Amino acid sequence: MYIYPEIPQEILETIRSCTTAVVIGHVGPDGDCVHSQIATQKLLQKMGVEAHLVNTGPFQRKEIREYEPLFAPHIGPQLKAKKPLVVMVDCSTLDRIGYLAEEIEGLTLLTIDHHASGDNFGDLAYIVPKSLSTTLCIMQFYKALEVELTKEIAEHIFFGLATDTGFLKFIGPYRGETFQLLGELVELGVSPNDIYNQMEGGNTLISQRFLATLLLRAQSLLEGRLMIVEEEPADVTNFDLNDRPSDLLYSHLLGVDKVEVVLYFKYIASDVWEIGFRSSHSSSIDVGAISSTLSGGGHRKAAGATVEGKLEDLKKLLITTIERELNRE
Ligand SMILES: [Mn+2]
């Protein structure tokens, strides 16, 4: 039942002999990405490594916005000249890091991740597809390198897991090991109650009104099995698109009887859409596979892609794809 393989000695040795490192994550970071980056930086610092945090942003989600000042947007020539070890967390493919892919060219790359859909890339990799968060993979590094897990680190690890599991709601059976690890974190002083309040609290009234507007626009298709929600250009002025109620929207719509897939078209610019994909717990639809056909990334149940094109064309394409997948069952 133990899902975390031993970390290869070569990786541990690389970290032990490292002097400078840069820890990177994916564009539009989520809680798992941000907290994985921070927990990795602190691990490296405790090992005596000069470790920097870099992320392209944007830091849009409210629960991670406060961490933005810790991150530089670029690696920069001075840092690059030191030939830092690059540790990339929570990324299934190299294009997930945006323009940083060019900035890390020629450097040694260590990938730590939990996505199943990943390419085989990087010089060194610790990828555990069954892990429910990247932060739990980082926890294994603390253990293997015998670096003390403090309450502060434990909170970062718990937060990453809480983000990726809808605060434990998406965890299925036979996950005792995950709860054992969570038990260790709670014994270190983490309050699940505090983490929940940080994650779910702090909504603005305007974002709740935006949620109401989006729910009114939801279109039920394919006999109720698909829900589509789209933003309109006027939302830019009427609401705050940096404060989207995405998670609440998905949970409301996935809670509707028969719904298997939710597509959320977020307006980025004229004919540029960021599409959020979610599938229900009981559905066999793999939205990660669908989003990858649009060069997106993600998991079976949650994925995203940024696409250029007319909204109607994109919708038509995705409705056809999802209808075909549903009929295959
Ligand atoms: Mn993750």
Q: What is the pLDDT of residues 136-156, one digit of tens each?
A: 999 999 999 999 999 999 999
Are 160 and 260 found together in one domain? no
pLDDT range class, residue 94, cuts 50, 70, 90: confident
Q: Which of 166, 199, 232 is the last residue of a domain?
A: 199
Residue 245 has pLDDT above 70, yes or no: yes
Q: Residue 275 C-alpha to ligand 1 middle, in angstroms?
A: 18
The CATH number that applies at residue 219 is 3.10.310.30
Q: Look up residue 83 and give its amino acid.
A: K
* Same-domain check for residues 225 and 321: yes
Name which of 76, 150, 67, 163 is nearest 114 in CA terms.
Answer: 163
Picking from 146, 164, 199, the residue at the C-terminal end of a domain is 199
Residue 222 C-alpha to ligand 1 middle, in angstroms? 30
Query: 299 C-alpha to center of ligand 1: Å?
Result: 9
Over residues 44-60, the mean pLDDT reads 96
Domain that holds residue 141: 9-199
- The predicted pLDDT at position 309 comes to 97
For residue 169, what pLDDT is reported?
87
Where does a domain end: 142, 168, 199?
199
User: Is 117 or 153 the better-scoring residue by pLDDT?
Assistant: 153
Note whether 223 and 139 are same-domain residues.
no
Q: How many domains does the chain have?
A: 2
How many A from CA of 258 to the centre of ligand 1? 27
- For the CA atoms of 311, 316, 321, 326, the dihedral, rounded to the nearest 10 degrees, stands at 110
What percentage of the chain has pLDDT greater than the value 70?
A: 98
Looking at the fold, whether 222 and 309 belong to one and the same domain comes out as yes
Q: What is the CATH number of the domain that holds 70?
A: 3.90.1640.10
This prediction has a pTM of 0.82
Residues 109 and 245 in one domain: no
Q: How far apart are CA 278 and CA 286, in angstroms?
A: 9
Residue 172 lies in a domain: yes
What's the gap in Å between 33 CA and the centre of ligand 1?
Answer: 6
pLDDT in tens, 195-223: 999 988 888 999 999 999 999 999 999 99
Q: Based on the fold, state whether residues 48 and 155 are members of the same structural domain.
A: yes
Q: How far is the C-alpha of 123 from the C-alpha of 11, rounded, in Å?
A: 10
- The answer to whether residue 4 sits within a structural domain is no
84 CA distance to ligand 1 centroid (A)? 24
Whether residue 168 is found in the same domain as residue 219: no
CA of 171 to the centre of ligand 1 (A): 14
- State residue 120's pLDDT score: 63
pLDDT at 1 > cutoff 70: no
pLDDT value of position 123: 87
* Average of per-residue pLDDT values in the chain: 95
